[in-house]
Amino acid sequence: MVRRRGDTRRDILSAAEHLFQVKGFNGFSYQHIAQELGVRNAAVHYHFPSKGDLGLAMISRFREDFGWWRVQQEARSTTGSQRLEAFFGLDRRYSEQRKVCPLGVVGVEFAGMPPEMCREAHALVDDVLSYIEDALALGREDGTLSFDGELPAVALHVLAATQGGLQLGRLQGPRGFDTVLDGLRSVLRMAGPADGARVAG
């Protein structure tokens, strides 16, 4: 595998993100990253002097990527239901790869994590909740969603359930996560992902 100059930093982040979502923050080391990329331990330290730097950069990139993803989705999805289903699709890909949400990793390993990482993760939570809230508000307006409760509370409920679902799915098999998604669709009076083909509940 030939590696172009300037890609190293990006590749390190990609490898780290993968390991992060599969094994947790304390579950991987610089050596794992270096081995996977075919570079030396010290090369990783060059780009990210401390593991805290690496972790912070990771969460920042998650935020950037989510920001871009959001812009695209809000341009292409016209209904609240579609926007929420798009978010479910994000997590569903994680589920297929047997990954968990990065927010879940921070949530569990919170106490031993660099403070800057936690602050950035908090900001990511706000970003995601903002997207979900907007989708819920739109869906309530356009009639594709129907639910009781205040928007921030319902958005938090959705995020909590998907996160927990991803983790339980690892123990129960991928069907576990799909079941949680169906439960959420039922609560939000939402058609299935195949555009009305399925009625949950």
Give me the 4-33 binding string for a second copy, x by CB under 8 A, dash otherwise: ------------------xxx-xx------
The residue ranges that bind DNA (CB under 7 A) are 3, 5-6, 8-9, 28-32, 39-43, 45-47, 49-52
Helix-, strand-, coil-residue percentages of the chain, each rounded to 5: 75, 0, 25
Tokens encoding 29? 């080391």
Nearer to DNA, 52 or 174 (CB): 52
Enumerate residues 97-136 that contact a second copy by CB under 8 A: 98, 100, 103-112, 118, 121-122, 125
Buried b / exposed e across 112-128, counting CB within 10 Å, b at 16+?
ebbeebbebbeebeeeb
Q: Which of residues 137-156 bind a second copy (CB under 8 A)?
A: 148-149, 152-154, 156
In order of 36, 42, 59, 130, the CA distances from 55 in angstroms are 18, 17, 6, 23
Residue 6 binds which entry of a second copy, DNA, none, with Cβ cut-offs from 5 to 8 Å by kind? DNA
For 86, the 3-state DSSP assignment is helix
Q: Which of 120, 139, 138 is nearest to 63 (CA)?
A: 120
Q: Which positions touch a second copy (CB under 8 A)?
A: 22-24, 26-27, 98, 100, 103-112, 118, 121-122, 125, 148-149, 152-154, 156-157, 159-168, 170-172, 176, 179-180, 182-184, 186-187, 200-201
